[in-house]
Structure 1
């Protein structure tokens, strides 16, 4: 019984010596210019080119590494957007806690020169197998007509009488398919909501199904965080014998 108690004390004593034989490292990583802590900065311990251990700082820029074998280390602190700092030849002693302070400076990033050139649409799009045209919102705003069918009629091969039904390449009016944001529809949207209108007069893709004539595909402007509206009035009264009048408003 006495021998067993002696062995237990011996093991406890050896464990205590082993625990005290380890070193600890603590410290902080700060912004050198502002004096503010850098949270989640990396702190790494090296011996030669091999990294032995490491950690990250907390929200206050502090770090703690325990159970380090005594010896000489190179200790590096790094943070994204800052220059790294390395302290070399740091001696960690058994049973001792060494405190270090790192102060990192913001690192300026030199960007490569950026050349800005204006994009020009090619005269011939070799990847396009369809024929027709595309009208943007800017072009629609500058057109004298505001009817969707009349806007479509500005494309070669498309005709519309007085803003009525659209005929593409002499086909029937009911052979023209209409799509709004990729969904086939019967009615159309106000011209003020059109971001882009694509008129396809030939070479329809298989995804458009049974469209036997042409196709008018409209992309709307989509939702906006700003509330806006407008009104427009056009007239040729007293200017020509037709007496054309147009009034439109939108929200």
Structure 2
């Protein structure tokens, strides 16, 4: 009798373990949808392209898409009166998936043309801030050879030269020294963002910043904002 009971218990344990092994692991994609004034948008549609998974935002502009299998997706948000927006190749992990937030622009309506005659035309070129480059966390994580290092990706941008040693990630901007650039994280200056940095230099073998916990990175090689404290080469 005890032998049969033991076999029954063993069979039950094996069945439970097998069920746990073959059950699919899912995650939740979440975030907020705001307008340009950072006011929440209620009722915006957020969905994963090519799937039946989606959700709508609540009164706080928050959305949650549950039971998402881990993988890479295109996340799309639409709202009446606003331009739709897509985040490409977002990475959904079983644990540690970051929030994906959206700021939507108002979609202007096309009006009828207005003809003005006998007027002096003043033509001015549209200025583009070529010295400022912005990269998303997905671009940094998927950049070839970057090893998920923010500074190594910044070395490939216009106006930036890599350090002489290939094992370092010093930033040489327009011929300046590596310690002439400043780093800010959420508005707070970070004296050093690299492991094992050399004294008097801001570079090191690998960066401290985990790409999974950032939203984007902006590099300015000139025309710095006045709120940054005395940079000589870049921000």
Q: TM-score, normalised by structure 1?
A: 0.39
Bigger strand fraction: 1
Length-normalised TM-score, structure 2: 0.42
Largest Rg, 1 or 2: 1
